[in-house]
Amino acid sequence: MSDPADYDKIIVGHTAGIISSQSAVQVTFAKAIESYQPGAELPADVFTFVPSISGTATVEDSYSISFKPNKPLKQGIKYAVSLNLVRLMEVPKELKKIQFRI
């Protein structure tokens, strides 16, 4: 497992902690996402949630992506989020996924 500080050169911020049931999950990167244009829908396997959430992941701008759930998130539930970085950009093998909680 990688040291969380190793991701600081890749990700500058992400949704975390307690959020509104209507909120999107957002991730902001240190460098531009060159493989997708702003507004593009991302592959379904970019984000994985436990428990599972259905929704749509999109590129918001050159540095940010978001996942918008189809239905409001359940109140009081902690979700584990896994972001498949290799689907977005070149990263070292040991940093291909990052996990965080909302």
DSSP of 32-95, one letter per residue? ---SS-TTPBPPTTSEEEES---EEEEEEETTEEEEEESSPPPTT---EEEEEGGGTS---GGG
Q: What is the pLDDT of residue 61?
A: 97
Query: In terms of pTM, does the model score above 0.75?
Result: yes
Count of domains observed in the chain: 1
Closest alpha carbon to 18 in 69, 75, 68: 75
Per-residue pLDDT tens digits for 11-35: 999 998 889 999 999 999 999 999 9
* Residue 8, φ and ψ in degrees, nearest 5: -60, -25
Domain assignment of residue 89, given as a range? 4-101
* Predicted confidence (pLDDT) per residue in 67-98, tens digit: 999 999 998 999 999 999 999 999 988 889 98
Check which CATH number belongs to the domain holding 65 and give it: 2.60.40.3710
